[in-house]
């Protein structure tokens, strides 16, 4: 059984995934990508929980979900900004991250541990990409900033990525102390 906070986490992806699926035809390309990301996040959480309940290491799911999450968020941001400069920066950041991820998976990957280094790198890239997107969105005065979905997506990514940075970076050390330490640290960050 998925713990209560896991159920809440799943719910936070399930609601927008369901809403996105229902409204998929009328959504912009960027919001369609967000819907796909939310659906994949639901599968990610479910698969990790299922493997964990069977006593199977599920770290590999996070390793591959990281590149999917980064690619989709990069695409969402790219499609949501009009600034050519911001689009170039987002494209370059996405390619740099992809290169780092490939190098990490080929040379440094340890399937017996949480890839905390890559988790930290991905969170830093997500924060930077979100800030680039927010800066570009603020320069576009075609509509009220808070009325645009990209504002809320970028702000959510900034808060979530920066909030989980420390726990993800220390995850292996916390797990060495015991799963209860990891759970306590994660629950403090989630609040």
Residue 37 lies in a domain: no
Residues 31, 149: contact at Cβ < 8 Å?
A: yes
Report if residue 27 sits inside a domain.
Answer: no
User: pLDDT at position 76, please?
Assistant: 97
Distance of alpha carbon 160 from alpha carbon 154, whole angstroms: 10
Contacts of 112 by beta carbon, 8 Å cutoff, 6+ apart: 57, 59
Q: Which residues contact 61 (CB under 8 A, 6 or more apart)?
A: 44, 47, 48, 51
Q: What is the end-to-end Cα distance of the chain in Å, rounded?
A: 22
Residues of the chain with pLDDT under 50: 189-191
CB-CB neighbours of 25 under 10 Å: 6
Q: Is residue 138 part of a domain?
A: yes
Domain that holds residue 131: 57-190
CA–CA gap between residue 162 and residue 147 (Å, rounded) = 24
Backbone angles phi, psi at 186, to 5 degrees: -65, -40
What is the model's pLDDT at position 190?
A: 44
131 is a domain residue: yes
Confidence at residue 86, expressed as pLDDT on a 0 to 100 scale? 96
Does residue 180 lie within any of the structural domains?
yes
Q: Is residue 93 part of a domain?
A: yes
Number of domains in the chain: 1
pLDDT at residue 191, as a whole number? 42
In the numeric block, the tokens 């996405």 are attached to 94
Question: Which tens digit of pLDDT belongs to each residue from 62-99?
Answer: 899 999 999 999 999 999 999 999 999 999 999 999 99
In a domain, 5, yes or no: no
The pLDDT value recorded for residue 33 is: 97
Q: What are phi and psi of 142, to 5 degrees?
A: -70, -25
Q: Measure the CA–CA gap between 168 and 166, rounded to whole angstroms.
A: 5
Q: Is residue 182 part of a domain?
A: yes
Output the six-digit token pair for 63: 């390793």
pLDDT digits (tens, 9 = 90+) for 119-135: 899 999 999 999 999 99
Residue 93: predicted pLDDT: 98
Q: How far apart are CA 117 and CA 90, in angstroms?
A: 21
């Amino acid at each position: 059984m998925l713990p209560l906070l896991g159920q809440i986490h799943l719910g936070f992806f399930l609601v927008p995934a369901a809403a996105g699926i229902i409204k998929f035809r009328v959504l912009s390309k960027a919001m369609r990508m967000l819907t796909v990301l939310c659906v994949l996040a639901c599968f990610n959480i479910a698969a990790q929980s299922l493997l964990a309940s069977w006593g199977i290491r599920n770290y590999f799911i996070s390793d591959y979900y990281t590149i999917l999450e980064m690619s989709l968020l990069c695409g969402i941001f790219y499609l949501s900004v009009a600034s050519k400069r911001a689009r170039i920066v987002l494209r370059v950041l996405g390619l740099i991250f992809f290169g780092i991820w490939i190098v990490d998976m080929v040379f440094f990957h340890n399937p017996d541990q949480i890839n905390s280094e890559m988790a930290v790198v991905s969170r830093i890239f997500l924060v930077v990409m979100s800030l680039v997107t927010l800066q570009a969105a603020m320069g576009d005065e075609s509509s009220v900033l808070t009325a645009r979905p990209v504002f809320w997506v970028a702000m959510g990514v900034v808060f979530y990525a920066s909030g989980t940075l420390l726990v993800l970076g220390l995850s292996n050390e916390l797990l060495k102390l015991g799963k209860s330490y990891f759970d306590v640290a994660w629950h403090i960050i989630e609040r």
